[in-house]
Structures are given as C-alpha cells and as structure tokens.
Amino acid sequence: MPRRTLVLIFLLPILTGCSQDDTVHFGAVLPLTGPYSVYGQSIEKGVALKFDEIAAREDFPYKLELTVLDSESNPERAKELLAELFSNHALAVVGGVTTAEALAMVSVADRYDQVLISPSASSPELTGISKNFYRLFPSDATEGRAMAAFAITELGIKTVVILAKEDAYAKGIQEVFKQKIESSGGEILDLVQFPEGAEVSGLVDRVMTLGPEAVYLAAYAQDIGEMIKELRRKEFKGTIFTTSAFSAPEVIEQVGQPAEGVYLTQAAFDLDSDKPLIKEFVAMYREKYGLSPDLYAAHGYDAVIALIESLGKTGPKKSDFRKGLRALLEVPGVTGPIQFDEKGGVSKFPRVYVVRKGNLVDYKGVVEEERRKLLEQLRKLQDAKRRAAMGARGN
C-alpha cells in the first residue's frame, strides 16, 4: 500500500518584487494517520490557522511556504520526512508529536544543524537532548509529580497500581509518578508494564485483585480509553488518574460515560478565558473548523508563533535562526508565555482536571463551585434558623 503524504502549501507574497528565492520555507511532520492521528490532526489545524492569520497581514516582510507531511505515526518515517524537508531548504520544522517520534527525529535535526520544535513531546529523556530541539509542552517530570502530589495531598490516596505501556512516553511519566508517590508516603502495589496488543481485561483483573485506592494509567489515548472502559465494566470503585494524553475532546467523547470522574493533568488552556489572544484564537478556530480547539491545537498554534517571532528577530539566515528562539522572552501564546530555557524547554506548570459531563473541568474550579454551593446551603440554613427563632419569640 502506498504511503499517504499530505502537503499543505501557504505562499504569502507580501513584499512587492519578492522573488521565489526570497521565500522562507517551514515544514511540519505530524501523525495525520495511524494510532496517534488524534494529536497530529489537531496540531495541524493549529499550525495552519496561524499561517492563515499571517497571510492576512500586510506588514509581514517575507513570503512563507509551509509543507506538512504525514509521519503515519511511525518514528522511522518521521525521520525520513524530516531529512526530506531539511534537504529541501526548510528553515525549521514543527514535529516530534510523540516522544518516540521526537527521539527519532533529533538525530536528523543535529545532522542538518537545524531547528526542530515539538508542540507536544514531553518525556524527561528529551530535556537538553540537543541545541536544535525545542518543545512547548511541559516535561513529564512536572506532570507526573503534579498528579502524584494531588493524589496524596488532595484526595488522601495511599495505595496505587500503575498500568503503563512499554514505550518511551509512558516510561518517563510513570517513573516520576511512582517516585513522588513513594517519597510522599504512598505505596505502589504494582507497576504493570504492558506491550502493544496486550489484553486489557487481564490488566484490569490484576488491578481488581490488588484492590488499590487508585489506578494510574500511563499510555496514549486509545489504550487509556480501553482501560477506563474495562475498569468501569468490572466496577472498579477506586479513583482513576491518567495523563494529558487523554485530554483530546474526541477521545473523551468516544469513551463516553466511563470517562466521568477521571482525573488528568495538563498544561493550562482555558477555552473560556477572557484574555484577548485566547478569545481570538478560539473564535478563529471555531469559524474555520466548526469545533473548539483542544490543548494540542493550541500548542500547534503556539509553535508557529515561536517560529515567526524568531524569524522576525533574526531573519531567515539559518545560522542565526536558533539565536532568535533563544532570545524569545515571555512572548504571548495561547498556552502561556513562550520562553525557552537553556535546555530548550518551557516553564509551564500543569494543573489537575476532572471529566464532568463529558468535559474537562479545572479541579480548582470544581472545588470552588462546591465551596460556593456549601456556603449557600449554610446561609439558607442560618436564615431558616433565624426565621424559626423569630417565630418562636413571636408566639
């Protein structure tokens, strides 16, 4: 079967008299098909939306070309396509959506000594891996610790079973989660690592046998969804924790009712934010695609912001472009300020969300709403007591 490749070209002829030689080429290698397409397709929409936005500007001093290629969720294919883009003069490439793809692609970025910017890869293994690699997603080190701390301090969880897929992403985040739980006085009853194609029923049977207060699911969306459904089917009574890999709205919708009450950590992205940049992004996204953006679309959008800001600082000279990324300072993005540290990462602090009525809700907001309801109930009780006391005195 022939490989499917999607190519999107945005040519922005802004300056009168610019020749084709003046065009600045960018690329993206994303999993548009295959098991991780749920992430790649959202990121592609965010990337394309930002390029559309630039196309409408009359003051932008370059012609731009964007080529988007489909990795088919295959790390080796991603490597090949990245080399193809750099060979065809791409100044920088958005890619490495999954940890496995990012790890495979870094060597190519180093061979060409050019920039690869990942919107979503999060393994601690990628921290400081190359001067050419940048990422906008917080490291799993912060996400795993945040969830473990929440489990211990907020919910009082003491015993956990971890179900983790045998891949680079799950390995990184489950190790951090495990260390934090144990250092905080909790107990990991078992760490079950499973290969591709493992029987979900058997994994859940192990959880049910051990009877933990909670289970932590470290995998990508499809596996997480199947495990959640099986846990609910077998009437697991404990708490289900998982990762930002489960945050895509279509994934939560596919799982349906079993997803209710599941907790996950993710970088903050508030669809209902009053911030003008986010409001504009959400409105444009809904107008273009007829649906609301998710966390991955937002990171794709911000990846292009970073590239364009760097281009504006240094121009299209390859030897200078990386300096522009390093020089970014609190650049406004829809997922938060964009500024890379000395290891090519960003300082973002994930928050805990819970699935309520099919939507992700910030846990702090849930607590505040419950507190408000409780205070309102107490006020009504106090009012009722006062009225009763006044009535008694009147008699």
Domain end: 242, 266, 290, which one? 266
**What is the pLDDT at residue 31?**
98
Query: Would 361 be classed as within a structural domain?
Result: no
* Separation between Cα atoms, residue 262 and residue 147, nearest integer Å: 12
Whole-prediction pTM:
0.84
Distance separating alpha carbons of residues 157 and 27, to the nearest angstrom: 45
* Chain centre distance of CA 246: 9
Q: Is residue 12 assigned to a domain?
A: no
DSSP state of 136: S
- Predicted confidence (pLDDT) per residue in 149-177, tens digit: 999 999 999 999 999 999 989 998 999 99
Tell me, yes or no, whether 377 and 337 share the same domain: no
**Which residue, of 266, 282, 303, is where some domain finishes?**
266
Residue 270 to residue 173: CA distance in whole angstroms: 24
In a domain, 84, yes or no: yes
**pLDDT on residue 246:** 95
pLDDT of residue 272: 83
- Which H or E run includes 170? helix 168-183
- Both 92 and 156 in one domain: the answer is no
pLDDT tens digits along 201-250 = 999 999 999 999 999 999 999 999 999 999 999 999 999 999 999 998 89
Predicted confidence (pLDDT) per residue in 57-106, tens digit: 878 888 899 999 999 999 999 999 999 999 999 999 999 999 999 999 99
Tokens 């008699």: give the residue.
395
Last residue of a domain, one of 266, 298, 318: 266
Q: State whether 74 and 125 are in the same domain.
A: yes
User: By the 8 A CB rule, do 81 and 71 touch?
Assistant: yes
CATH code for the domain of 201? 3.40.50.2300
Residue 106 near residue 129 (C-beta atoms within 8 A) = yes
**Judgement on whether residues 122 and 235 belong to the same structural domain of the protein:** no
Residue 123 lies in a domain: yes
Residues 187 and 256 in one domain: yes
Domain count, the chain: 3
Q: Are residues 52 and 79 in the same domain?
A: yes
Mean pLDDT of the chain: 89
Q: What is the pLDDT of residue 15?
A: 37
Q: What is the pLDDT of residue 6?
A: 46
On whether both 130 and 195 belong to a single domain, the answer is no
Same domain, 235 and 284: no
Question: Beta-strand (E) ranges in the chain?
Answer: 23-30, 63-70, 90-95, 115-118, 133-135, 159-165, 187-194, 214-218, 239-242, 263-266, 351-356, 359-362
Distances in Å between the Cα of 90 and the Cα atoms of 108, 162, 381 are 13, 41, 67
> What b/e string do you get for 29-51 counting C-beta neighbours within 10 Å, with b at 16 or more?
bbbbbebbbbbbbbbbbbbbbbb
Report yes or no on 162 lying in a domain.
yes
What's the distance, Cα to Cα, between the start and end of the chain in Å? 90
Domain of residue 177 covers 141-266
Question: In one letter, which amino acid is 291?
Answer: L
How far is Cα 387 from Cα 307, in angstroms, rounded to an integer? Answer: 65
- Please report, for the chain, how many H helices and E strands are present, in that order: 12, 12
